[in-house]
Amino acid sequence: MIENTMLLPHKYLDPVEPMVIGECEGCKDNVHETDEHLEIDDVLLHDDTTCIAAYIREVAVRR
Ligand SMILES: [Zn+2]
């Protein structure tokens, strides 16, 4: 018997896009309400070392 892969179920868990709550100051991408994120005063960041590092490099002065 030949398996028909077209019959495998699609894995759409939630077709509705999560709400965007702001822009990440690190990667400049949208932060969705479902994303793990950090807030420092008015600054929004993904809870991701890449985003945090990008933000720190932007605001900090290298000595
Ligand atoms: Zn980010």
Q: Report CA torsion sign: 11, 13, 16, 19.
A: negative
- pLDDT, tens digit, for every residue of 9-61? 666 666 778 899 999 999 999 999 999 999 999 999 999 999 999 999 999 98
Q: Report CA torsion sign: 60, 38, 48, 11.
A: negative
Domain assignment present for residue 23? The answer is: yes
Domain assignment present for residue 41? The answer is: yes
Q: What is the pTM of this model?
A: 0.69
Ligand 1 centre to CA of 40 (Å) is 14
pLDDT at 17: 81
Domain assignment present for residue 3? The answer is: no
Ligand 1 centre to CA of 55 (Å) is 9
Domain range for residue 31?
15-59
The total number of structural domains that make up the chain: 1
Domain assignment present for residue 8? The answer is: no
Domain assignment present for residue 1? The answer is: no
Predicted confidence band of residue 62 (pLDDT cuts 50, 70, 90): confident
Domain assignment present for residue 53? The answer is: yes
Ligand 1 centre to CA of 46 (Å) is 4
Neighbours of 24 (CB within 10 A): 22
Domain assignment present for residue 49? The answer is: yes
pLDDT at 7: 60
